[in-house]
């Protein structure tokens, strides 16, 4: 069982209120410490029940001046906590059946992953260079090495989460990070393609199969599931990078070398993979029961998510048709 330690800081006169809430929740244990100005409540709770607890705590105490919640992952605890016979049974009836971390923890993780910083830019540069070498040398091992360091899973999954929650700020942030990263990679590869005549030998490597589309969809689902469990998404990030980085690197190399038609074709493959990743991500978040906290936000998010899904599906079908005609004309 995956556990979280939750620190709750509230007004010192709210002891009875917090006890009533905690006694009505499925938690392992809790402790209360009092200071001159505030109350510190430490809870030991399963990840699958932390979201309900946090929602109730926020509704009751978010107006308090002292209010603060801090979440810590738990590596181990003594004495040991007995594993439930069926971990799913601790979820409320009608709730999703996918075991996952709480919404707030998920939001924080993906917001951090979507940060545009020098680490992200440097990894984009390095992965683009390594991928370009692997593609030009037709060396699968080098291409896989590029996938390992490509940081593309974060902004893509953050964009899918932002769509699900109707969070415009996170959507703008993740889209900007993804756009900045892809433009940096494109610029590098265009300059590279302009000076490297060996690009002509890969000018025929633009075929696409249904397997490419399935890879992007599966990568999106796998990426979300890994993040939902609170585990490392590094290996799944390789799958995401496989779907995105090679066609985008080829786009830049072809464009720099003057193979405009090949560049357009690779760009279409990259675009449909981005759409597939986000479409799969949104659907998986929905199945996992990721919703905003407040009821009016839930209704608004449902409407916006339906619109986003309709847009993604429409773009997906349009690109599939375009690629089909380009391939079999």
Q: Does the pLDDT at position 73 exceed 50?
A: yes
Quick one: pLDDT band at residue 202, thresholds 50, 70, 90?
confident
Q: Does residue 224 sit within a domain?
A: yes
Q: Which of 41, 9, 47, 36 is nearest to 23 (CA)?
A: 41
30 plus 81 within the same structural domain? yes
Q: Where a domain ends, among 90, 117, 144?
A: 90
Q: Does residue 223 sit within a domain?
A: yes
86 plus 170 within the same structural domain? no
122 plus 241 within the same structural domain? yes
pLDDT in the model for residue 262: 85
Domain count, the chain: 2
CATH code for position 65: 3.30.70.120
Q: Does the pLDDT at position 88 exceed 50?
A: no
**Position with higher pLDDT, 264 vs 190:** 190
Q: Does the pLDDT at position 91 exceed 50?
A: no
Q: Does residue 10 sit within a domain?
A: yes
Q: Does the pLDDT at position 27 exceed 50?
A: yes
**Order of strands, sheet of 3-11, starting from the edge strand that comes earlier in the sequence:** 29-34, 38-46, 3-11, 68-74
Quick one: pLDDT band at residue 205, thresholds 50, 70, 90?
low
Q: Does residue 27 sit within a domain?
A: yes
Poorest-pLDDT segment among 5-9, 21-25, 96-100, 322-326: 96-100
Q: Does the pLDDT at position 170 exceed 60?
A: yes
173 plus 280 within the same structural domain? yes
153 plus 276 within the same structural domain? yes
DSSP 16-49: HHHHHHHHTS--SEEEEEE-SSEEEEEEEEEHHH
Using one digit for the tens of pLDDT, what is the confidence trace for 122-160?
Answer: 999 999 999 999 989 888 888 888 877 888 888 988 999
12 plus 138 within the same structural domain? no
Q: Does residue 97 sit within a domain?
A: no
Q: Does the pLDDT at position 90 exceed 50?
A: no
Q: Where a domain ends, among 57, 90, 123?
A: 90
pLDDT in the model for residue 218: 81
Burial (CB count within 10 angstroms: exposed 0-12, middle 13-18, buried 19+), residue 194: middle
pLDDT in the model for residue 67: 92
52 plus 108 within the same structural domain? no
Range with top average pLDDT, 71-85, 162-176, 311-325: 162-176
169 plus 221 within the same structural domain? yes
13 plus 83 within the same structural domain? yes
Range of the domain at 318: 103-328
Quick one: pLDDT band at residue 204, thresholds 50, 70, 90?
low
Q: Does residue 190 sit within a domain?
A: yes
Q: Does residue 98 sit within a domain?
A: no
Burial (CB count within 10 angstroms: exposed 0-12, middle 13-18, buried 19+), residue 107: middle
74: β partners: 3
CATH code for position 166: 1.20.1080
pLDDT in the model for residue 299: 83
pLDDT in the model for residue 251: 92
Poorest-pLDDT segment among 78-82, 276-280, 302-306: 78-82
170 plus 49 within the same structural domain? no
Q: Does residue 95 sit within a domain?
A: no
């Amino acid at each position: 069982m995956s556990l979280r330690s939750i620190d709750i800081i509230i007004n010192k006169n709210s002891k009875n209120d917090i006890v009533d809430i905690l006694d009505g929740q499925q938690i392992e244990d809790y402790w209360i410490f009092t200071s001159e100005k505030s109350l510190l409540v430490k809870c030991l709770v399963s990840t699958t029940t932390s979201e309900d607890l946090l929602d109730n705590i926020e509704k009751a105490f978010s107006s308090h001046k002292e209010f603060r919640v801090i979440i810590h992952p738990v590596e181990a605890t003594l004495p040991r906590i007995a594993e439930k016979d069926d971990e799913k049974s601790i979820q409320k009836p009608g709730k999703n059946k996918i075991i996952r971390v709480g919404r707030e923890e998920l939001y924080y993780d993906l917001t951090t992953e979507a940060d545009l910083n020098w680490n992200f830019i440097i990894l984009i540069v390095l992965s683009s260079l390594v991928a370009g070498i692997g593609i030009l040398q037709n060396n699968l091992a080098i291409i896989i090495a590029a996938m390992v360091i490509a940081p593309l899973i974060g902004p893509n999954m953050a964009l899918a989460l932002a769509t699900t929650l109707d969070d415009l700020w996170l959507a703008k942030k993740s889209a900007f990070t993804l756009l900045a990263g892809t433009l940096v990679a494109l610029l590098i590869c265009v300059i590279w393609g302009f000076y490297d005549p060996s690009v002509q030998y890969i000018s025929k490597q633009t075929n696409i199969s249904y397997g490419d589309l399935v890879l992007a969809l599966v990568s999106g689902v796998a990426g979300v599931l890994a993040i939902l469990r609170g585990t490392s998404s590094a290996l799944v990030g390789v799958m995401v990078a496989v779907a995105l980085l090679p066609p985008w690197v080829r786009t830049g190399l072809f464009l720099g070398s003057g193979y405009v038609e090949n560049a357009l074709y690779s760009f279409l493959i990259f675009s449909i993979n981005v759409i597939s990743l986000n479409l799969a991500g949104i659907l998986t978040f929905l199945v996992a029961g990721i919703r905003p906290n407040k009821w009016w936000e839930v209704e608004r998010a449902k409407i916006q998510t339906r619109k986003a899904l309709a847009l993604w599906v429409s773009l997906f079908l349009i690109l599939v048709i375009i690629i089909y005609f380009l391939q079999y004309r």
